[in-house]
Structure 1
């Protein structure tokens, strides 16, 4: 891929950021401007009648208080540990100022927006309206264009700059879709055919050692249960719940689930997950429509936690775009839509753990948007939910010709992943082999360029950096949030897709595995009359560290380098290590 930005992109940037227009409400102030990401190219002006679902995120002055409360209730050494906040308490801390809401509402009303049709997030910090491109351009002093992805041919409607009235500008964090060019992608390999099925089936007669050993060639629930010490634990059907997110029209197929259970989790045959549709999500149960990612997550989540209830959230928000269809409202914001939905739930309806195996390059996400979404994950954590994300499948970054900054300087750099880089989620890298486990070469890891390094990991990361020395100096942000936090097996997972068995790799495999172990810890805690773990990281880097097996071999090459190397203690390849359920349960106090 050429390192220089296309001339047309630079021309578009200059045109869209010239003198800002004025409106009846006063002068406009440039709020955000980016260069066209190197993987996208502009094609033409967006059709004026094309509809956009605009999300206006407002400033939240009490968010630092929420961060403080989150760390307090998540730290085993704090007197407030386990005293998670209520829905109302979180919303009070996330709420914008009244004058901010009033200023934005006046701006919208003056522009002809029907405020009665404007949707609100649970805390009132986001206003959502559906408008044609022509109105969005007038509101934001912007020019929307149709962009095409150079590799996939995917089309989206975006702008590279937008402005806000002077009286609105200080009250708004971001407005999207504008400068958000992210393409959330499932973090796993294509399915490899597996024939014959009988070669990989566990008959249940093998001992624990044989089960764990089988992980070297074919990963099944039985080998993971043995490897991570959940064998023999019987969970409850009514103590807790595991949530699994699905995006990008990924459908979890119930028929494939039963086929998988018959081969690999016989005790779970007949059970299934609940599907919840969010923001226009669908539930296509046609066998040919089965999604590899959705099936992987639900098959392993269900098998490893049975009989704990599993909920699959099928979230719309990133549909294929038809440039000839004015009614096709295109967006790439499924995280925000899902967060709005789940934060509106009563506490009794929240899962105690949520597993998400999607992500994208951090720099394709505007910093303002990343901060706003990360704060929503913090809200979930404060309410006692463990939010778990995959670390990515590109090591320290993709191919060498893609490892450059998108700020106009073309600086060579490692490419961190988002939401993996959010400090309020637990990020899972990948391992392979057994006796001992070693790092999977694709395991994503590194340092955020947006988020500062949180205090809970400062000591662990400092030890790694002292060993690393000056190697890769300038390619990563040593003071940024470091990830992954933990890891789990990520290669050769057997799944069923569209009626046939296959194998997949990726941190998409590791994430539901680790999430399932934490779900069982929460099950034990709740049955003992205690609160679930909630936001995990202060526990994992502190009192829970003894419940993780350090992984000290392997590396995560990328960007034309050998990447970081795993070693003693935390490292940006496998984090703190892989879980040992029995020890984690004891350390958690269950």
Structure 2
């Protein structure tokens, strides 16, 4: 969208700058850290001519209408249930108000940037990306950028400790990046880990792929998990997908990982022989990798278990890349290296999208600026409104990893919720272990958000847990926050083929694709019956589908030097509503 004639006229007047200077020099802080985010240290100042791709998120004019629509089309008791929105209908609701467009474009013009030269604009106009130098960005945001180093990942980023915007823009702009969000492809956490201490199945005997009766799931499935175990445990063994021309399952992958085709075939030969020869679609986003030379544990885990459960449903693996390491001697543009935005902007720009997604990554909520987290969470709401079910791992640190000290300057010890697991518009998946019965696994991430309020869809389920808990841990968590996980699944001893060899892998990264595979089958059933896919799951699973889960009533998730929460009858912040029973859920959504 071009500058309005009025704004252009102002800029062409000799006195334009003085007239506009008061408007654009009255600044207020948008976000600031009181201390450098944990794990990062200041390295040096970047060259002033180093280029950044600055993303500006304009406030969405009808966001409340979008969220209302999301809840209506996701609530089985509502007359609009299943009437998901098209991309064009979502775009109308998320488009910025003309006043917001005028204000942002006038501000850019004041800084001698022509919005017509924007590097990228979303189709609804709520995102604009401009290419600016560090010097320009510092003037625009009244800040100083630095090069920061993350020792654990050996990663450098260009970020700032705070940034400001003109007071007038605070009501028109949600967030500007890259600024104070330090998370990157390499510093964010994958929620899986190798388990070398756990025995793995090292050959391809037919017995590993043999059908297991749901009535007699062997105890070995509690520690050495295969697709046959999961299909029996969660009652999908005899379901044959029918809507494979329409129904799709997507995996969002980060950390420059990719899934290996040869390993998938080895996995099929060992664990699901009827799927041998099946493939999946590779999509590379923002420089994502697919060299097939050094497969990622996380990527192989995800694709092998979504395929292992949902076959022959078509799967797509999205490998999201990022900017190269910072090089002070080159001045080529670096993009924001912020993976959620990279992937979300890509997927929301597509006309058709998978009906089910799984993602197995996350950060401590407190490490993500609240304005950034809210903006990203609202993008997940767009996906849900369009009819997609989005699963996220709950994390592998119980109620919090490490010392759990706050980063607000007070250094208090508090339980540390994870993001995006804490977003109310995703379905978050915790972890279990053992069978007959399943129990909560100790690392299952769970708790209560400090950014997002408890949504109404879960209040009746969360209230009994809080009543039972009483005053225990009352100073360590936000009882009025969004509680998670929502559901759970096995997360221990998954047999994954990596580089041709079978290894045991654990983590809620295993439980998220497991649930996604089951949801994909439920979507297949709905679509094959001429009905809409399930879309955003939470209003359904906390109401009419609540009895479709196996309640987990033992185990806990320690962390932060505390015993953590305990799984009890009903919902709990360790295993959520429990683990899925496909046949029961199928009957409930019919």
Return the TM-score normalized by structure 1.
Answer: 0.92
Separation of aligned partners in 1, 2:212 and 2:422: 40
**Are residue 185 (structure 1) and residue 173 (structure 2) matched?**
no
Counterpart residue number, 2:32: 33
**Are residue 251 (structure 1) and residue 258 (structure 2) matched?**
yes
Separation of aligned partners in 2, 1:160 and 1:438: 43
Separation of aligned partners in 2, 1:203 and 1:514: 20
Distance 1:583 1:48, change over 3 A: same
Counterpart residue number, 1:343: 348
Distance 1:258 1:266, change over 3 A: same
Distance 1:326 1:546, change over 3 A: same
Separation of aligned partners in 2, 1:200 and 1:108: 64
Residue 239 of structure 2 is aligned with which of 222, 233, 236?
233
Kindly report which structure 2 residues correspond to 1:64-463, keeping only aligned pairs within 5 A, or say none.
64-118=64-118, 119-182=120-183, 183-190=187-194, 192=196, 194=200, 196-198=202-204, 202-204=208-210, 207-209=213-215, 211-236=217-242, 237-286=244-293, 289-317=294-322, 319-327=324-332, 329=334, 331-346=336-351, 349-399=352-402, 401=403, 403-463=404-464
Aligned residues: CA RMSD: 1.8
Counterpart residue number, 2:15: none
Shift of 1:555: 0.3
The range that moved more, 191-200 or 35-44, is: 191-200
Deviations 1:145-192 (A, max 9, x none): 111225444222110111123443321111011010223321111363
**Are residue 509 (structure 1) and residue 513 (structure 2) matched?**
no
Counterpart residue number, 1:557: 558
SS of equivalent residue, structure 2 residue 193? coil
Counterpart residue number, 1:48: 48
Alpha-carbon contact 2:211-2:228 (below 8 Å) kept = no
Alpha-carbon contact 1:191-1:292 (below 8 Å) kept = no
The gaps in structure 1 that reach 5 residues or longer are 1-21
Counterpart residue number, 2:500: 499
Kindly report which structure 2 residues correspond to 1:516-527, keeping only aligned pairs within 5 A, or say none.
516-527=517-528
Deviations 1:77-104 (A, max 9, x none): 1111111112121111111111111221
Separation of aligned partners in 2, 1:115 and 1:423: 34
Shift of 1:521: 0.4
Separation of aligned partners in 1, 2:444 and 2:162: 34
Distance 1:207 1:167, change over 3 A: closer
Alpha-carbon contact 1:550-1:578 (below 8 Å) kept = yes
Separation of aligned partners in 1, 2:324 and 2:543: 42
Shift of 1:107: 1.8
Distance 1:425 1:319, change over 3 A: farther
Deviations 1:337-382 (A, max 9, x none): 2111111222xx2100010001110011100011111111001101
The range that moved more, 63-72 or 326-335, is: 326-335
Deviations 1:226-251 (A, max 9, x none): 00000011012213100111111011
Separation of aligned partners in 2, 1:196 and 1:37: 42
Distance 1:405 1:557, change over 3 A: same
Distance 1:453 1:24, change over 3 A: closer
Counterpart residue number, 1:475: 476
Separation of aligned partners in 2, 1:188 and 1:503: 11
Separation of aligned partners in 1, 2:195 and 2:219: 22
The gaps in structure 2 that reach 5 residues or longer are 1-20
Shift of 1:530: 0.4
Shift of 1:201: 5.6
Alpha-carbon contact 2:214-2:235 (below 8 Å) kept = no
Alpha-carbon contact 1:322-1:328 (below 8 Å) kept = no
Return the TM-score normalized by structure 2.
Answer: 0.92
SS of equivalent residue, structure 1 residue 215? helix
Deviations 1:508-550 (A, max 9, x none): 0000000110100000000001001000001110000111000
